[in-house]
Amino acid sequence: MSARVESEASVTDERSDRSVIGHLQGFTWSTSESVAYEAAVEAINEAVGAYSAVIAAEEVKKNPSRQVLERARAGQAACAVSRGQLDPADHAAVASARQEFSALSRRIRQGRW
């Protein structure tokens, strides 16, 4: 069995002959902008991980708290939404997200969430 690989230039929209890639808007990143965005995404991922640690610790308890589990899972879901909505072109939002989620991760690890 063989796989067929097409170049990006040959990918077309089923409704027309125009390239799907042709519909994408260009975006130029500076090195500092790309690093800032990746750092913000990483801060969000760290918060998700901190919530995961809370969930894992709670689940091994003899009588896990349903409230703690629900709250931590809701926190993870909120992080995922924020990560999906983060616009790399919005430099203020990127900086804010990095600061906010870094602080959230610290609070979660300290048990102050």
Residue-range domain boundaries for the chain: 31-109
Q: Tens digit of pLDDT for each residue in 58-79?
A: 999 999 999 999 999 999 999 9
Going by pLDDT thresholds of 50, 70 and 90, the confidence category of residue 26 is low
pLDDT of amino acid 10: 41
pLDDT for residue 4 is more than 90: no
Compute the distance between CA of residue 32 and CA of residue 92 in angstroms, rounded to an integer. 13
Mutual orientation of helices 91-109 and 31-59 as an angle, nearest 10°?
A: 30
Q: Could you say which DSSP state residue 58 is in?
A: H
Residue 16 to residues 6, 7, 9, 20, Cα–Cα distance (Å): 17, 18, 14, 9
Residue identified by tokens 């230039």 is 9
Q: Tens digit of pLDDT for each residue in 38-63?
A: 999 999 999 999 999 999 999 999 99
**Which tokens sit at 38?**
């990746």
pTM assigned to the model: 0.74
